[in-house]
Amino acid sequence: MISRNSIQALLICLVIQIGSAFFSFSALAQSPVTTSELGVGIGGANYKGELAPNYRFLNNQPAFTVFYRRDISAPITLRGGLMGSHRILNNNTIGDKSYDLPLPNYRQAEMRLSLAEVSAVVEYNFLDYYDMRQRTRVSPYFFIGVAGLLYNVKTSFDNPQLSYLNDAYRTTLAVAVPLGVGIKYALSKHWNLGLEFGARKLFNDRLDNLTGQDERISNPHDNDWYYYNGISLSYTFYRINCPPPYRKQPGILD
């Protein structure tokens, strides 16, 4: 079994690799044109854990994101972003038949969750999205990276037998691995439209405040997840990279 220290070491290595790629200009200079994007997005944030053991579309709550994206080669782009969602409510007794089960009915739990995420991911574009010679530019992509999460959560129980578990809001930091798929489409030379669905794998079971509790009401062997899916609009900036001889002799064309 992989230890917690090994997982943390792998995450640190991943952060270093992504960070070095963001600030590596030698790779960028090999391309005649470098593109970067600044964008915003809106969508839904979701949660999967003890209170919602399966992804439920009805659990989506409004979320927003801002991001910066930069290409380093034809298939690879790097992206840094911020995502936030306020008061995600999950009540597992809202009338959904799939949740009308003995455990949810006994637990009668509700969670209120707000979160803020900062992430750095690597995107792999399956088509050459940055080839300006194409009449229509579109590409599906896959992404994976690392994220830091700050969340505020409160879980309450309507069952009097579980009232001792009710607690005040708790604010916690966590590390997650974001991964998912999306598609980007160029509306024009500068404007881009995107659709994305991404999951975030946590390394703890504390997102819903149900950890270390009685195993009759929680599963301590299954870590929590959260999700973001949405639509985005971004603006592309172009930079023409001078060949090495002209960079070394600025006056060569005078």
Please give the structure tokens belonging to residue 239. 């930079």
- Asked if residue 254 belongs to a domain, the reply is no
Look at 149 and 156; give whichever has higher pLDDT: 149
pTM over 0.75: yes
**What are 115-155's pLDDT values in tens digits?**
999 999 999 999 988 877 888 899 999 999 999 999 999 88
Mean pLDDT in residue range 209-226 = 77
- Asked if residue 105 belongs to a domain, the reply is yes
Element (H, E) at 92: none
- Asked if residue 132 belongs to a domain, the reply is yes
Residue 165: strand, helix, or coil:
helix
Mean confidence (pLDDT) of the chain: 81
CA distance 90 to 138: 36
What is the number of domains present in the chain?
A: 1
Chain position carrying tokens 């301590």 = 220
Burial of 9 (0-12, 13-18, 19+ CB in 10 A): exposed
Does residue 92 surpass a pLDDT of 70?
no
- Asked if residue 253 belongs to a domain, the reply is no
CATH number at residue 149: 2.40.160.20
- Asked if residue 27 belongs to a domain, the reply is yes
- Asked if residue 64 belongs to a domain, the reply is yes
**What are 169-198's pLDDT values in tens digits?**
889 999 999 999 999 999 998 999 999 999
Residue range of the domain that includes 107: 4-248
CA distance 59 to 98: 14
